[in-house]
Amino acid sequence: MSDDVLVVDDDPDILEALGGVLTLAGHDVAAFGDAREALRWLDDGHVPRVVLLDLMMPGMNGWEFLDELHDRPALHGVPVIVLTGATGDGGLHVCSLLKKPVDLDVLLREVERWSGPGGSGP
């Protein structure tokens, strides 16, 4: 099972806005406001082409989500784009880091870049 884009962010307004923009751009979107719910969805066999991930979330934060993602061999090749208001990258090993508020044109370019065949970027 595959959706183009998995969005994980605890802000419902951001989830709605990103979901709408990505859907209008032709992507199938799975959006979750809770990282643990997103992991359950992934554990059900879903494999997104790219993940958009907020770092600062209650409960399970983005760093913990990334650790869990890396513990799942079937998801090792899935590119992760971090969306954050935090400064620095915290040593993250992700394909892209975008600062909030995110420029939607930049976001769409990054999603296209990393969700293409192989998700390898340029």
Please provide the average confidence, as pLDDT, over all residues in the chain: 88
- Cα 11 to Cα 25: distance, rounded to the nearest angstrom: 21
- Tens of pLDDT, residue by residue over 21-37, are 999 999 999 999 999 99
pLDDT of residue 95: 84
- Distance in angstroms (rounded) separating the CA atoms of residues 35 and 61: 7
Band of the pLDDT at 85, cuts 50, 70, 90? confident
The pair of structure tokens assigned to 83 is 């969306």
* Model confidence at 65: pLDDT above 70: yes
Q: What domains are there in the chain, each with its CATH number?
A: 5-117 (3.40.50.2300)
CB 29 within 8 A of CB 4: yes
| Residue 93, helix vs strand vs coil | coil
CA distance linking residue 99 with residue 110, whole number of Å = 13
pLDDT value at residue 88? 58
